A and B are shown apart, each in its own frame.
Chain A
Amino acid sequence: MLPTAIIVFREVLEAALIVGIVMAASRGALRRGMWVSGGIAAGVLGACGVAAFAATIAGAAEGMGQELFDAGILFAAVGMLGWHNVWMSRHGRELATSAVQLGNAVRSGARPLWALAFAVALAVLREGSEIVLFLYGIALAGQGGPLAMAMGGIIGLALGVAAGTAIYWGLVSIPMRLLFTVTSWLVLLLAAGLASQGAAFLMQADLLPPLGSNLWDTSFLLSEQSLAGRILHTLIGYTAQPAGIQLVFYVATLLTIGGLMRLVGARDRTAAGRAGGGSAVSPAE
């Protein structure tokens, strides 16, 4: 029961942290609960499908199907998170500073919450499919009986969800005017970490060179297998022994999304300045 709980917890943790951040980042947006739960539901369904076809996926692309599939999911999630961040850099200030509740709600309706929902679905799908494969194996082997397996699964799930809830409550205690800045940074680092993981899978499939197989080794300070190491791995892409190509992807993702955010944000400021208002939202609106 305990080993099952630990493994389920570990896999749920990654997805739950991402869901927690996404929920905080979309605070105040219209129907975000519906979008995010839809993403989770789609991810769970997808996870079962992926687990069912695990052997087919693994056998594809000359045995490198698993790597390409994982990399594809990770880079798609990076794209979704990046898209939402860039959009927010243009409209976030309006949303945060608008005193008009109705206007706020209407504007947030145009927000690409589908991108966040998609990112959530991908995270749940990736971690969930590992859980399904793991539990399926245990069930087939009949280890410890179905009750112990179910209990382990439920305990692991509950602990993971608790961690996601904790990060959510921690984030929403931040004042609203700062919240978007904080969550934008978190999402940016999250995306960079996912890109670095994606690069590792392409390197594993031999499609990318390692560019130095271990740049440094901080496993004596913080092991990637420890709880803190795993949390930081998800949140900011902490890797104790990174390969050069992972660092390249990490930095390139930071610069690309960060650069686009600045570019789009700056253009918006100029446009607002030209309109003569100075502030993005005029009181008359």
Chain B
Amino acid sequence: MRRLALALAVFFAVAAPALADDPVVTITLKDHQFVPSEVPVPAGVKVQLLVKNEQDVTAEFESNSLHREKIVTAGGQIAVFVGPLDPGSYEFFDDFHNSTRGHLVVK
């Protein structure tokens, strides 16, 4: 059992995302809008998206093309890693408020 725990710990330590090196891009949810709604992101590198929810309702940051879905509680924030991405436009939205939409513009 202890060996298993150790193996798991090593696995997660090795597989854990390298927090320090990746560029961080902040997206803020405010009055049911993403700010900015067009988010420029460099192509070919891993990027950390920091999604802050400054609303008083829960949101779910979701994107079908990026395969991401994560709940952001009211007043809370989450980190989502994306990439390395090919150049193009990737839509994301608030699954709890469907008209709230934005794009990652990867160049």
Cross-chain contact B80 with A61 (CB below 8 angstroms): no
Q: Which of B62-99 contact A (CB under 8 A)?
A: 64-71, 73-74, 76, 78-81, 85-86, 96-98
Grouping DSSP codes into helix (H, G, I), strand (E, B) and loop, the B interface class, with mixed when no group exceeds half, is loop
Nearest CB of A to B21, in Å: 13
Q: How many residues of B contact A (CB 8 A)?
A: 30
Cross-chain contact B65 with A134 (CB below 8 angstroms): no
Nearest CB of A to B87, in Å: 13
Of A62, A63, A141, which contacts B74 at CB under 8 A?
A: A141
Cross-chain contact B96 with A219 (CB below 8 angstroms): no
Known A-B contacts A63-B78, A66-B71, A143-B57; the reply to A206 vs B65 at CB < 8 A is: no
Nearest CB of A to B103, in Å: 15
Of A67, A206, A213, which contacts B15 at CB under 8 A?
A: A206
Known A-B contacts A66-B70, A200-B67; the reply to A133 vs B16 at CB < 8 A is: no
- The CA of A67 and the CA of B69, in the complex, are separated in Å by 9
Cross-chain contact A133 with B80 (CB below 8 angstroms): no
Grouping DSSP codes into helix (H, G, I), strand (E, B) and loop, the A interface class, with mixed when no group exceeds half, is helix
Cross-chain contact A206 with B81 (CB below 8 angstroms): yes
Q: List 23 A-B contacts (CB under 8 A).
A: A54-B71, A55-B76, A58-B73, A58-B78, A61-B12, A62-B19, A66-B70, A66-B71, A130-B71, A133-B58, A133-B71, A136-B58, A137-B56, A137-B57, A137-B58, A138-B57, A140-B74, A141-B74, A204-B69, A207-B12, A213-B66, A213-B67, A241-B67
Residues of chain B touching chain A, judged by Cβ–Cβ distance below 8 Å, are 12, 15-17, 19, 55-58, 60, 64-71, 73-74, 76, 78-81, 85-86, 96-98
